A and B are shown apart, each in its own frame.
Chain A
């Protein structure tokens, strides 16, 4: 039983890491209706930039600030160069454009900083701590704490600030928001910037865990099933989805792995997401729309 709990909690904590990527995704989807495949490459870009700056002698906070600046510039460039010219196009077109964006960012990141693997040290030792007989990773607990802070900050941003209000109105109806004088395009840029910030945080945590390298951009493939389960438009859903995927994946690995073979973590989240979809086609927290004809 203790072993089961240990696996379960370990999985849940790992799931929070997935949620971090998924949250950036949800923000963008909510505000601009774009299914942003480039979120993974934004994570890679942020982590790679940060780690390269640190290696070149930057202090933690100045590297953090510079990277954040780079993410903001990236968000601005995407809004100007991709979103604005593609306004009013079908969502599938925008999705494919973000595929293009992810290629550009990945190429750019490696062109600038090289393709080798970088270690990233956040000063958190990844040693297990014992909680009532259950061994937990200190690093995972730290990551969970950061995630909680992030969600808190985001919800304050949305509920307490003017920008949050504009953001919610753009999310619910861009045309109506435009009519009331909200500068929709600026809101888009802000949201992409916030998503870039979330990407930076996720990049640091993931980078510290796996090392900063190209495969970091593949976390987007883990975030997708998380989104599907949680629904595209709910931050809470992204968290719960992450927990479900993290726990499910770990349990499957430990209990089903020996039976059907290892390496199933690549596809298991997708099959899980599919099962969820068949029961709830709009995700756990997505709104079911009544089709009008």
Chain B
């Protein structure tokens, strides 16, 4: 890997292996994601995709290999360090704060950007007030961007599923991340909702310049929006490349259709 290409890379997963008490989830996986790209992780259920995301943002510590993010080795970091470093993510099963309003959920996403301490905020000192205005302004922009201003004060537990997914995306981009990890952002959606979500992802990638790594089962969507596809099967990488090439790869076809 030359120095030139290294600086263009935002994320490099190098020989990562992960197991849970002897059960191998991920075996010796390597792939890299250049800045500004949309990279899709696909593969059958149980292929280790979510585990891999959890390794990237520090929830799990891999037994082997390492993750290089933005030029730094991060395989030992905790999730909070990953978030501070600019990695945001959404979850397969919506993981919102159910008792809080949409606005408050989005504001929690801004916490990595908060400078004023809580005592300053409670006392209402000028710096804290100015900062609170700024965060609110950014949150409002995001609510507008994802068309959810109307639900600003609704407790998220009361929103329909499709909107909850969108609020989760809003919370993730509220931190202004460099790298956005999306775990099945379109699971359980109908065609129309999937189209909306695809547009949001493309907009985030294009307008905000955010690099995206996403897991998705709908191959149609994956082929349409991603620049680069990584295919996993039984915890191993079986293909890696542009969508068109991956689609015709005999090993990928075998994994999906089960042909020999």
Q: Is the CB of A293 within 8 A of B20?
A: no
Task: Return chain A residues, CB-CB under 8 Å to B91.
Answer: 293
Encode contact with A along B58-83: 1 for CB under 8 Å, 0 otherwise: 01000000000000000000000000
Q: Which of A290, A291, A293 has the most CB of B within 10 A?
A: A293
Name the distance in Å between A162's Cβ and chain B's nearest Cβ: 33
Which of chain B's residues 6-59 have a Cβ closer than 8 Å to chain A? 20, 50, 54, 59
Encode contact with B along A57-76: 1 for CB under 8 Å, 0 otherwise: 00000000000000000000
Residues of chain A touching chain B, judged by Cβ–Cβ distance below 8 Å, are 290-293
Q: How far is the CA of A290 from the CA of B95 in the complex (A)?
A: 17
Name the distance in Å between B54's Cβ and chain A's nearest Cβ: 7
Task: Return chain B residues, CB-CB under 8 Å to A293.
Answer: 54, 59, 91, 95
Q: How far is the CA of A2 from the CA of B157 in the complex (A)?
A: 63
Q: Is the CB of A290 within 8 A of B59?
A: no
**Chain B residue total in the interface (Cβ 8 A):** 6
Q: How far is the CA of A193 from the CA of B47 in the complex (A)?
A: 45
Q: How far is the CA of A15 from the CA of B132 in the complex (A)?
A: 56
Q: Which residue of B lies closest to A288 (CB)?
A: B21
Which DSSP category, helix, strand, loop or mixed, fits chain A's interface?
Answer: loop
Task: Return chain A residues, CB-CB under 8 Å to B20.
Answer: 290
Q: Which residue of A lies closest to B54 (CB)?
A: A293
Complex A-B: 7 CB contacts under 8 Å: A290-B20, A291-B59, A292-B50, A293-B54, A293-B59, A293-B91, A293-B95
Q: How far is the CA of A292 from the CA of B54 in the complex (A)?
A: 9
Q: Which residue of A lies closest to B91 (CB)?
A: A293
Task: Return chain B residues, CB-CB under 8 Å to A290.
Answer: 20
Task: Return chain B residues, CB-CB under 8 Å to A291.
Answer: 59
Task: Return chain A residues, CB-CB under 8 Å to B59.
Answer: 291, 293
Q: How far is the CA of A293 from the CA of B181 in the complex (A)?
A: 13
Q: How far is the CA of A159 from the CA of B50 in the complex (A)?
A: 38
Task: Return chain A residues, CB-CB under 8 Å to B50.
Answer: 292
Q: How far is the CA of A268 from the CA of B159 in the complex (A)?
A: 48
Task: Return chain A residues, CB-CB under 8 Å to B54.
Answer: 293
Name the distance in Å between B107's Cβ and chain A's nearest Cβ: 21
Encode contact with A along B91-121: 1 for CB under 8 Å, 0 otherwise: 1000100000000000000000000000000
Q: Which residue of B lies closest to A292 (CB)?
A: B50
Name the distance in Å between A175's Cβ and chain B's nearest Cβ: 16
Name the distance in Å between B47's Cβ and chain A's nearest Cβ: 15
Q: How far is the CA of A293 from the CA of B20 in the complex (A)?
A: 15
Q: How far is the CA of A292 from the CA of B20 in the complex (A)?
A: 12
Q: How far is the CA of A292 from the CA of B46 in the complex (A)?
A: 13
Q: How far is the CA of A291 from the CA of B95 in the complex (A)?
A: 13
Task: Return chain B residues, CB-CB under 8 Å to A292.
Answer: 50
Q: Which residue of A lies closest to B183 (CB)?
A: A293
Q: How far is the CA of A291 from the CA of B51 in the complex (A)?
A: 11
Name the distance in Å between B43's Cβ and chain A's nearest Cβ: 17
Task: Return chain A residues, CB-CB under 8 Å to B95.
Answer: 293
Name the distance in Å between B25's Cβ and chain A's nearest Cβ: 10
Name the distance in Å between A286's Cβ and chain B's nearest Cβ: 15
Q: Which residue of A lies closest to B92 (CB)?
A: A293
Q: How far is the CA of A97 from the CA of B120 in the complex (A)?
A: 39
Name the distance in Å between A101's Cβ and chain B's nearest Cβ: 26
The 3 A-B pairs at the shortest CB distance, nearest first, are namely A293-B91, A290-B20, A293-B59
Q: Which residue of A lies closest to B95 (CB)?
A: A293
Q: How far is the CA of A291 from the CA of B60 in the complex (A)?
A: 10
Name the distance in Å between B50's Cβ and chain A's nearest Cβ: 8
Name the distance in Å between B108's Cβ and chain A's nearest Cβ: 16
Name the distance in Å between B82's Cβ and chain A's nearest Cβ: 13
Q: How far is the CA of A291 from the CA of B91 in the complex (A)?
A: 13
Q: How far is the CA of A224 from the CA of B20 in the complex (A)?
A: 31
